Amino acid sequence: MLQKGKLDIKREMDRLKINRMGISEVRWKGAGVINSDSHKLIYSGGNDHERGVGFILDRQTSLSLKGYWAVSDRVIFIKLDGKPLDLDIIQIYAPTSTSTEEDIYAFYLDLEKAKKQRKFQDPVIIMGDFNAKVGEQRMDDVVGPHGLGQKNERGERLVEWAQRNEVIVGNNWFEQPPRRKWTWKSPGDGSRNQIDFILISKSFRNALLISKTLPSADCYSDHVLLMGKIRVKLRKQKKTKPNIRLNLDLLTSDTDLCQKYNESKKQI
């Protein structure tokens, strides 16, 4: 994202018919919103050009945006107005394998803060680069049997968090060929791993219709685009006019106000 001229994400979203896209490693300072004629970019960064997360919403989806919270340079939260429930989406960028235990703890603390912003009954989607491997073995109703590779320590922690928070690892429940499962390739194209995930509330798992990677997407990254098709109905935000009520009783109790009112009528 920092290297602006090299990638037209909006063009790719239109080509692939993607309504909303979460981004890891935005690499912009601070936090804010950038609007164009067709899309809205919401981003959350730090004090330097590292890390950073964000969302790009097409015009239709942006009309349903109720608000956002830039939690940190690793976590951002948006709320979309839906029917009959709102839709909460959290985009994350987890610390890499070289990060300290303190970094991991701070990340999950930020994730907890974001998740607490939602109403209990509203569906939540948590997506992004978790830098974790959950493997290909099914674990209860949290991790499906269609993953890739072997689970590692970071994956164990992610699964435990998902179990406590009543969410599932969504993209591991859809049978796909390996090229539709891996989300990251190591430098030099040495190996491919699945470290990006879409998590969704257990009670709304049927809303996730499909999830797979799109290797053909122009991401200009060592990650490939992970796509999820979600069945929800969003409601457009309507600007309502304020309901102004006149307190006419003041005209009888306040003589100065009554005089000013009479003078204004004469001027009209």
- pLDDT-based confidence at residue 241 (cuts at 50, 70, 90): low
- What's the pTM value of the predicted model, to 2 decimals? 0.83
4-242 falls under which CATH superfamily?
Endonuclease/exonuclease/phosphatase (3.60.10.10)
> Which pLDDT score, from 0 to 100, does residue 214 have?
92
Please give the C-alpha separations between residue 136 and each of 99, 143, 159, 180, 213, in angstroms, as whole numbers.
Answer: 25, 8, 13, 14, 16
Distance CA 176, CA 146 (A): 7
> Which pLDDT score, from 0 to 100, does residue 185 have?
86
Average pLDDT, rounded, for the chain: 86
The string of pLDDT tens digits covering residues 182-213 is: 999 887 767 899 999 999 999 999 999 999 99
Distance CA 204, CA 118 (A): 15
> Which pLDDT score, from 0 to 100, does residue 113 have?
93
5 pLDDT more than 60: no
The string of pLDDT tens digits covering residues 133-157 is: 999 999 999 999 999 999 999 999 9
* H-only helix segments in the chain: 9-16, 59-62, 101-115, 153-164, 250-253, 255-267
> Which pLDDT score, from 0 to 100, does residue 257 have?
57
Instruction: Kindly tell me the burial class for residue 175, based on how many C-beta atoms sit within 10 Å of its own C-beta (0-12, 13-18, 19 or more).
Output: exposed
- pLDDT-based confidence at residue 6 (cuts at 50, 70, 90): very low
The string of pLDDT tens digits covering residues 90-127 is: 999 999 888 999 999 999 999 999 998 888 889 999 99
Distance CA 24, CA 91 (A): 8
- pLDDT-based confidence at residue 254 (cuts at 50, 70, 90): low
Q: For 38-56, what is the mean pLDDT?
A: 90
